[in-house]
Structure 1
């Protein structure tokens, strides 16, 4: 009997020991492995999706995360900020968008996991992520005295990734870190109804000036640029290389499955004269698809469908191979572009940030552009994605939903792929007799030296076909209280006569895509064109001001005074306009969501 009892006791001890070891193993695994969050593909109201049953790649995961104002032209390309109607291509895109998305979702491979169903508000559920996301440190532009520094110079920026990334975080139930908020990308996410350029002009430039909504003693100078538009059917032939990250970090639902669905949307737009190559990288690199005509869409889609995630991330080797493929298929006078789709988590081979930028800067000289499409959460390297695109003469977008893929790769396809001007720089000189202080809102990592403006060797941003670019200055006019004490021994006045009525002088310099010699356009701005009140300004002025206020508020509101989220929502709601694609309505929802997250209480005010 005693022997039996001893055996029973020994068995119990062995079972308890095994359970304890298993629990400790699970804790160790959880500590060593970052949690995986599944993102919801947010669709527009009324759209449905198939309900796939199996996971395409990676381990099973659970859980939810879901102006004529201010401008007197020296050429006829400059005109007043006007609520111009959508172009025919924009109207067509708006009309076709819901049906194209529906077809895309129906065509999705049934092996893809279905994201968690949308909440009534259309938001992601709370996401859990390690603090491994990387953002470049960003210090807001300071207020500058005109007497000390009358000239401001910067490169234009048409990236939109920061807005989509901020949206993802807000929808996940958290406010973004300040460095993730680049205000110029928030503003430029939205298309504005600026009139198209006349004749063969590359740009139409518009300005408008009025009191600032966050400080009645300050004024805003709104500069809007509209690029020459090109219909999709008239685009030059395209030589595209899809460079896709298929490393293990891309296995979760909001990465490779979403990436493939987004690229399929672009494939659906290809013509016979367009060609696509597909290169992948993980532990190594592979040419999955040699350059293939857009006439063979099924072959291209099949190659995308067969992609699986696994391994480490040899990103630099993948970029080098993609450039090699693009150079082999180079089309003179055509669109030659690499689309890098990744979370930016390079961990094998060349991982030095500056070395990767140098590679892109060197390769762009050969006429091949590099654009980046960001995916994923948790280990997302936004710093790399944004600055690599800048170095590669491309643009940076963040794809958090299939709707965003539709916006970037279909609705704005011509802007994304076709460059109408490169190295576009803006320089503005303020008249110290009229303006005492100024501050450029955003563009912190796009600032240039004064002498860089005339130096054609200095790189700047590119403008795509039909792109709109907006910049906003906050001004302190003479007679209003300044924020910075003036110099005791001020500099001499400039050559402009004090009685000229000029407030500032605007210069724009750019190069045509096939030319390395820049062109110059310039216009005076006059004080008499300042609007007396915000109510007298255009819808575009007021909505852009609301977005600028929102971005600054998310960064801490250093310059926005007492203007809160409710005030921003009111201003944006009153200037929503036609909103053909629903972007501005979504913005209102995000403002209300940010207010709720910042106060812990539901937003009260303007709703969508």
Structure 2
């Protein structure tokens, strides 16, 4: 490089101006004209047509003719090929060249070829030319600072590649380098702009030299990937019952629970290939889901009978189980009281799924077939606003009831509180004295409009319960199921909660168990067990966490509790630790009061008390049962099949909840215990349970 060029490089670039731009344009035009005047090569030929051979002319006349058959044939060939190519490219997921992808710099040879094409003859660099180039560079960089940075980085990479490759820019004509830089700048800017604006489709990525192009593979855009549906099911989170010391806390009190929703929820999850949410597992509901042949009372004067069995614990050789089984009096269908039922049906937009409103309609059709001709049915819907679809109608007019059910369509938001008020008003309008007056709420629990707090709904239901109108809840659907609210409604409405996930479950809950679900024989049923500290050191109630009561609530008739229907079966299981067993977890108190002298009969393990009210009474009655060694069996095999099967279900429920007591008890043992106690299984419920245990075993990886 000579001294003049070095001096020129040290010069300060002139400020851009419109005058300089005009001067540069004028000089460029003059240079072009001068080059044209002195050029030796001709600029074309005077002939009117391009020179070619005679054969080409003859063939052209043939090719220029339009044949319809040829076009049709081409169409048949091209269209399938294009469709196949499009399908293949889409299936392969070929990526898009976006602004985030790296652009390979041009090789030295490509850069030299591009430079040769873009350079034009010009006069030596002048002040006006410098101003023009600076002005154009500034204008090109103005739209986006980020884009300018990318262009500058790209040019720097290319120059470095040239330097390492030994390719030099011509320096004989000083004006060539600025012109080349400007061309490179424009080409790079356009390339990056196109890449940044490229839509998410198949695209080619041009190299800086312009001659190289290729299709690259990259992951599909995030927004096009299938995302799993968000699970917004809501459950009440409670801790499992702890092990309690008889020395400090000898009394256990809880409310009866005949709900079965938890088992259906567990089944739904396992059948979908997922382990259930631990909070959805309520062990007592899983146990009470199955029909057992417990001994029942001889007459309705004593509404139910308790049977207690003490047996070894399958998962702990140092503890025992106290199995409490209750069977309610079975009211004969001929003597069942009249029923006044109000179907409160959620037809909001959230119910527009196959396992919600369509299944709900099928379930209520089954129930209508079960009722007696003199029973009455009303239908209230709610979605935004509550409305009466069917006034109280006798079951003998089944065609009218079926038509009303068939016309139900989803749409709108869920104003559940308004619907409850309307349903209770309709139930009061058709109230049957001495009969069954019940609102049957069917919903996914998505109460999202209006005064829908749990406490407000609870207050409404408690007030109506006192008037003799009870509430049952049927849950449907998944993904937005509000189990917590469903439990609140059922527990405070003297009703039951069931979850309907299949038509078979609807048949079980509304047809096979209609008597126990609809016709109560006792209300506010409470259990209290006092353990003998001379015999029992510790105890743990399995399940019933959401049904726990205070000790003083047992004798308080103002405290609400669960109801038992006709023929209902209720089972409770305690794990008890005998005194002196190595399984005792709690140490004796150092400073505790000296134990009182034993006054209980010798050999008595515990004392069971049951308090209940007649459906039309507000005064409770008491039933007591002592538990002694005469209730015990020496081995698990000596216990009846129903007892052993219920214990297997209890173990399974605890296993799903992650209870420490059964952590070392494998699914294989649960399966063996249940298989050996399958017994009579007319409806296949126990066979289904065995399948669920197998699924849980596989999903857990055990």
TM range (shorter): 0.7 to 0.9
Post-superposition Cα deviations, 1:147-201, rounded to whole Å, max 9, x if no partner, equal 0001111001000000001100110110011100000000000111111211332
Moved more, 476-485 or 489-498: 489-498
Q: Distance in 2 between matches of 1:539 and 1:272?
A: 39
Post-superposition Cα deviations, 1:53-75, rounded to whole Å, max 9, x if no partner, equal xxxxxxxxxxxxxxxxxxxxxxx
* TM superposition score normalised by structure 2: 0.68
Aligned residue in 2 for 1:455: 556
Does residue 1:301 correspond to 2:402, yes or no? Answer: yes
Aligned residue in 2 for 1:548: 650
Decide whether the 8 Å contact of 1:539 with 1:577 is kept in 2: yes
5 Å matches for 1:116-265? 128-199=228-299, 200-265=301-366
The equivalent position to 1:426 in structure 2, one of 523, 527, 543, is: 527
Secondary structure of 1:500's counterpart equals coil
Distance 1:138 1:264, change over 3 A: same
In structure 2, list runs of 5 or more residues that go unmatched.
1-193, 203-220
5 Å matches for 1:181-580? 181-199=281-299, 200-481=301-582, 482-493=584-595, 496-497=598-599, 500-580=602-682
- Cα RMSD for the two superposed structures: 2.2
Decide whether the 8 Å contact of 1:433 with 1:498 is kept in 2: no
Secondary structure of 1:377's counterpart equals coil
Give structure 1 regions of 4+ aligned residues with deviation exceeding 4 angstroms. Answer: 15-20, 26-31
Task: Report the alpha carbon displacement of residue 467 of structure 1 after superposing the two structures with TM.
Answer: 0.3
In structure 1, list runs of 5 or more residues that go unmatched.
1-11, 21-25, 36-127, 602-608
Distance 1:491 1:245, change over 3 A: farther
Q: Distance in 1 between matches of 2:590 and 2:684?
A: 52
Provide the aligned length of Structure 1 versus Structure 2: 490
Secondary structure of 2:466's counterpart equals helix
Q: Distance in 1 between matches of 2:650 and 2:450?
A: 40
* TM superposition score normalised by structure 1: 0.78
Task: Report the alpha carbon displacement of residue 531 of structure 1 after superposing the two structures with TM.
Answer: 1.4
Task: Report the alpha carbon displacement of residue 497 of structure 1 after superposing the two structures with TM.
Answer: 2.7
Post-superposition Cα deviations, 1:442-494, rounded to whole Å, max 9, x if no partner, equal 00011111110000000000000000000000000012020122222334545
**Higher share in helix:** 2
Distance 1:580 1:492, change over 3 A: farther
Distance 1:488 1:205, change over 3 A: same
Task: Report the alpha carbon displacement of residue 231 of structure 1 after superposing the two structures with TM.
Answer: 2.4
Distance 1:502 1:397, change over 3 A: same
Decide whether the 8 Å contact of 1:503 with 1:527 is kept in 2: yes
Decide whether the 8 Å contact of 1:215 with 1:561 is kept in 2: no
Post-superposition Cα deviations, 1:250-277, rounded to whole Å, max 9, x if no partner, equal 0010000000001100011122210000
Task: Report the alpha carbon displacement of residue 220 of structure 1 after superposing the two structures with TM.
Answer: 0.3
Distance 1:307 1:536, change over 3 A: same
Instruction: Considering Cα pairs closer than 8 Å and 6+ residues apart, tell me whether 1 or 2 has the greater RCO.
Output: 1
Secondary structure of 1:242's counterpart equals strand
Post-superposition Cα deviations, 1:109-138, rounded to whole Å, max 9, x if no partner, equal xxxxxxxxxxxxxxxxxxx53121100011
Q: Distance in 2 between matches of 1:19 and 1:312?
A: 38
Which has the larger Rg? 2
Decide whether the 8 Å contact of 2:339 with 2:376 is kept in 1: yes
Decide whether the 8 Å contact of 1:579 with 1:585 is kept in 2: yes
Secondary structure of 1:147's counterpart equals coil
